């Protein structure tokens, strides 16, 4: 299973938005006030005269955005107005002559910055899902301003002293659990931002934060551009043998759209492996596609080069961690996670290596035999693996991926699979509406209705790939739930499913179907949030916990009842035959050695990059990558890392620096809890309600470890993960 996404979450600690890549994290990590140098002092009279939809709450249901009224030239004025407003609000709290209380300090901080929150939420998703040159210019311009802006709050001595005074009296304040958690998290955020440093150190921290934010934005924009740069142009249709007629037609259209009529364009996706490699029978073309992917962003042939940005970001992060008193950025980053230390995270990963390598060699032997049968005596190469693995899978399970796709029409997967499961678990229903403006015609909107008939929130679905959408899949919040501000959630799921040519059904891979379940797991984490404070709402939890609810939902995709409900032939409506259904379920652990190894190598690479001190950052990133993989025993040429350093979106412009391991950590929680739920009745509203009450509704209002124990009643066990990935057999 290859489901990995970005969670564009809003961890609002004193309104500090920490969204992952969907805003090019740069902007999402810094949602506070601008520096004095910004020309952003906009009077109330000027605001009233500006026709800017971000300056006041939307009048649409649940304050969702009226995208028909949003123009690119409105973003920067709104950012400026929002930062000016919040600066004034925060400074008023800092300057208060009243003795600090929870209400006049922490709660007051939670009420600040509504304009800024609105513009960030809209801009963040558009910058990732529907960008353009103007939006990219705004990203470049605003990210360092927002970095300085964040520092103006977290390095505000007077404001920190108020928070610190409350924190010192924590045991005597008589706060409830959520209030206590907010105070702890806010105090911690100030300290981790540098509030206790001297003025010289704080000045350097400010410089570093601005440089990091600019470099992250540049890296993110490079990733979008390099996708187009490395696209593979094919001259002859016969070279595309193995692709379906619909796929070939889509490739022809993509080429025509790029001014190459009569040719075929194969788009490069965000990961090292490319989906098209499953089907292409032309080995030379497979190699060309793989190399276009694996060697991107290295400056080859004068193209886009991210190597300098990698070194810059690694050095800056290491320097910042050292100033703050940490051994490395990894130590700084993981202090707030369930793992706590990079050693614990690495131990978890390396503990799997021996069994995974053994599994890879077993899989490789089967693939090598298939290649030999085709007259190829060469060693298996990474561009061979998926093509021949598909042949092995057909032999073992009788499954033809193209045949399976005939039963996976996107709308059926969504309504009869994802929505059906959410109804069975949580009693909610999704009702599509056509009256709300969207930012692209492919986007759909649904009311989310609870079992009591009350509206819970709004759900947006944006599933098809576009040239101006970054790769991958993610969840974002347009409106964050908060009882304090009387807001219900508005959530969006974004993916990159190839769009069929007009008139053809949207037939998707089983991997994409599983990803839809995964993203809805993030979706309900936001939709079911039921907390007081915006800083603790929804997915405002540690990175190595945030993927738990989403990964938990993945396994319903192969639950027999669910699969039988959505897997219907796109032409006849016939339910997937029982034998094929059985084969799909049996084959879900196929190729898990490869899948796990490519993930492990990337996660270990991330930890090693962020364990470096500034003076240890190497000049040659490719040599460093090879050295790390060799030292850790994961340097299998036939199984390259899922992401190589130069295009590792999660860790450089994304929010997963030193935290890519989190997917595996979260999967341990998900597999363990899913196994426990199945033993307790499986797909029932009783189980769903318990999950909702214990985890999904609680956001970050309790420590992650406590939330897990509330749900399952014990600490997690690793056996479920090993069984889930086919690395261990389940007990009878």
**Domains of the chain, each with CATH number or no CATH:** 7-224 (1.10.1370.40), 230-294 (no CATH), 410-575+662-724 (1.10.1370.40)
Identify the H or E element spanning 458. Answer: strand 455-464
Bridge partners for 497 per DSSP: 464
pLDDT tens-digit series, residues 374-424? 999 999 999 999 999 999 999 998 888 889 999 999 999 999 999 999 999
Structure tokens at 594: 């490869």
pLDDT of residue 1 exceeding 80, the answer is: no
Rounded distance, CA 385 to CA 660, Å? 24
Q: Is the pLDDT of residue 43 over 80?
A: no
Q: Which two tokens stand for residue 331?
A: 């130590």
Question: What integer pLDDT is reported at residue 726 of this predicted model?
Answer: 77
Report the distance separating Cα 534 and Cα 130, nearest Å: 26
Q: Looking at residue 118, what is its pLDDT?
A: 97
Which of the residues 114, 185, 390, 519 is marked catalytic? 519
CA distance 52 to 46: 11
- Percent of the chain residues past pLDDT 90, beyond the cut: 85
Confidence of residue 482 (pLDDT cuts 50, 70, 90): very high
Q: What is the pLDDT of residue 730?
A: 66
pLDDT at 47: 47
27 pLDDT above the threshold of 50? no
Residue 643 vs residues 470, 472, 490, 597: alpha-carbon distances, Å: 15, 12, 31, 12
Those residues with Cβ within 8 angstroms of residue 192's Cβ, 6 or more apart along the chain or in another chain: 324, 332, 335, 336
pLDDT the model gives residue 626: 97
The answer to whether residues 122 and 65 touch, using CB atoms and an 8 Å cutoff, is: yes
Average pLDDT over residues 104-125: 97
**Per-residue pLDDT tens digits for 597-638:** 999 999 999 999 999 999 999 999 999 999 999 999 999 999
What does the pLDDT read at residue 21? 30
Q: Model confidence at 5, in pLDDT bands (50, 70, 90)?
A: low
How big is the chain, counted in residues?
A: 732
Which residue in 104, 637, 71, 204 sits closest to 379, CA to CA? 637
Residue with tokens 């939330």: 707
Q: Does the annotation mark 363 as catalytic?
A: no
How many other CB atoms are found less than 10 A from the CB of residue 442?
A: 17
Per-residue pLDDT at 93 exceeds 90: yes
Cβ atoms of residues 364 and 384 within 8 Å: no
* Helical spans, DSSP H, in 407-534: 410-412, 420-426, 510-527
In angstroms, what CA-CA distances link 680 with 312, 525, 668, 721? Answer: 51, 22, 19, 18
Confidence check: pLDDT of 2 > 90: no
Confidence of residue 184 (pLDDT cuts 50, 70, 90): very high
CA 670 to each of CA 493, 544, 708: distance values in angstroms, whole numbers, following the listed order: 20, 11, 10
Digit-coded pLDDT (tens) for 552-596: 999 999 999 999 999 999 999 999 998 888 888 888 889 999 999
Rounded to the nearest integer, the mean pLDDT of the chain is 91
State yes or no: pLDDT of 22 exceeds 50: no
Residue-level pLDDT at 6: 54
**Are the CB atoms for 493 and 462 separated by under 8 Å?**
yes
Whether 492 has a pLDDT exceeding 60, the answer reads yes
**CA dist list (Å): 448 to 413, 425, 698:** 17, 14, 19
């Amino acid at each position: 299973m290859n489901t990995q996404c970005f969670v564009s979450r809003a961890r609002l600690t004193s309104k500090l938005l920490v969204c992952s890549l969907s805003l090019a994290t740069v902007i999402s990590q810094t949602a506070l006030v601008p520096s004095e140098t910004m020309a952003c002092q906009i009077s109330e009279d000027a605001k009233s005269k500006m026709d800017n939809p971000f300056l006041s709450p939307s009048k649409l249901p649940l304050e969702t955005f009226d995208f028909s009224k949003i123009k690119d030239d409105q973003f920067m004025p709104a950012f400026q107005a929002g930062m000016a407003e919040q600066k004034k609000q925060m400074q008023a709290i800092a300057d208060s002559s009243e003795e600090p209380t929870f209400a006049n300090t922490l709660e007051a901080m939670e009420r600040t910055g509504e304009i800024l929150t609105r513009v960030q939420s809209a801009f963040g998703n558009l910058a990732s899902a529907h960008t353009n040159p103007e939006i990219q210019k705004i990203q470049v311009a605003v990210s360092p301003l927002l970095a300085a802006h964040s520092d103006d709050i977290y390095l505000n001595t007077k404001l920190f002293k108020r928070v610190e005074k409350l924190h010192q009296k924590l045991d005597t304040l008589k706060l409830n659990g959520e209030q206590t958690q907010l105070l702890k998290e806010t105090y911690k955020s100030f300290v981790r931002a540098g509030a206790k440093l001297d003025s010289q150190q704080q000045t350097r921290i400010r410089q570093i934060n601005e440089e990091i934010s600019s470099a992250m934005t540049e890296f993110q924009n490079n990733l979008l551009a390099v996708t187009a740069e490395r696209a593979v142009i094919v001259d002859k249709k016969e070279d595309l043998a193995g692709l379906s007629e619909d796929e070939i037609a889509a490739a022809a259209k993509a080429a025509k759209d790029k001014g190459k009529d009569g040719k075929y364009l194969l788009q490069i996706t965000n990961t090292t492996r490319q989906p098209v490699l499953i089907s292409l029978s032309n080995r030379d073309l497979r190699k060309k596609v793989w190399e276009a992917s694996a060697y991107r962003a290295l400056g080859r042939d004068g193209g886009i080069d991210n190597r300098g940005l990698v070194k810059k970001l690694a050095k800056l992060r290491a320097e910042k961690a050292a100033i703050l008193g940490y051994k490395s950025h990894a130590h700084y980053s993981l202090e707030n996670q369930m793992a706590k230390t990079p050693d614990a995270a690495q131990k978890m990963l390396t503990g799997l290596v021996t069994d995974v390598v053994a599994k890879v060699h077993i899989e490789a032997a089967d693939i090598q035999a298939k290649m030999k049968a085709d007259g190829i005596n060469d060693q298996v190469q990474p561009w061979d693996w998926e093509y021949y693995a598909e042949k092995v899978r057909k032999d073992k399970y009788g499954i033809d991926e193209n045949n399976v796709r005939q039963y996976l029409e996107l709308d059926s997967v969504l309504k009869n699979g994802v929505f059906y499961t959410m109804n069975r678990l949580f009693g909610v229903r999704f009702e599509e509406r056509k009256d709300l403006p969207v930012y692209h015609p492919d986007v759909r909107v649904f009311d989310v209705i609870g079992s009591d008939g009350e509206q819970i929130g709004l759900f947006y679905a944006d599933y098809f790939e576009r040239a101006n959408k970054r790769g991958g899949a993610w969840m974002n919040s347009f409106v964050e739930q908060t009882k304090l501000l009387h807001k219900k959630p508005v959530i969006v799921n974004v993916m990159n499913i190839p769009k069929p040519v007009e008139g053809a059904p949207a037939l998707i891979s089983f991997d994409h179907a599983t990803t839809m379940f995964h993203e809805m797991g993030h979706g309900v984490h936001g939709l079911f949030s039921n907390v007081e404070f915006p800083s603790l709402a929804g997915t405002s939890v540690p990175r190595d916990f945030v993927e738990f609810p989403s990964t938990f939902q993945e396994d319903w995709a192969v639950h027999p009842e669910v699969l039988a409900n959505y897997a219907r032939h796109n032409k006849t409506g016939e339910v997937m035959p029982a034998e094929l259904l059985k084969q799909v379920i049996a084959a879900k652990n196929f190729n898990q050695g490869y899948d796990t190894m490519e993930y492990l190598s990337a996660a270990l690479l991330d930890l090693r990059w962020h364990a470096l001190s500034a003076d240890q950052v190497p000049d040659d990133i490719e040599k460093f990558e090879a050295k790390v993989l060799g030292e850790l025993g994961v340097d299998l040429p036939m199984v390259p890392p899922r992401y190589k350093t130069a295009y590792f979106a999660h860790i450089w412009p994304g929010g997963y620096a030193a935290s890519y391991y989190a997917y595996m950590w979260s999967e341990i929680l998900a597999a363990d809890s899913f196994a426990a739920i199945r033993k307790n009745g499986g797909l029932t509203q009783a189980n769903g309600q318990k999950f909702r009450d214990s985890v999904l509704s609680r956001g970050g209002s309790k420590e992650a470890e406590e939330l897990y124990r509330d749900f399952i009643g014990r600490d997690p066990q690793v056996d479920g993960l090993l069984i889930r990935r086919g690395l261990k057999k389940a007990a009878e």
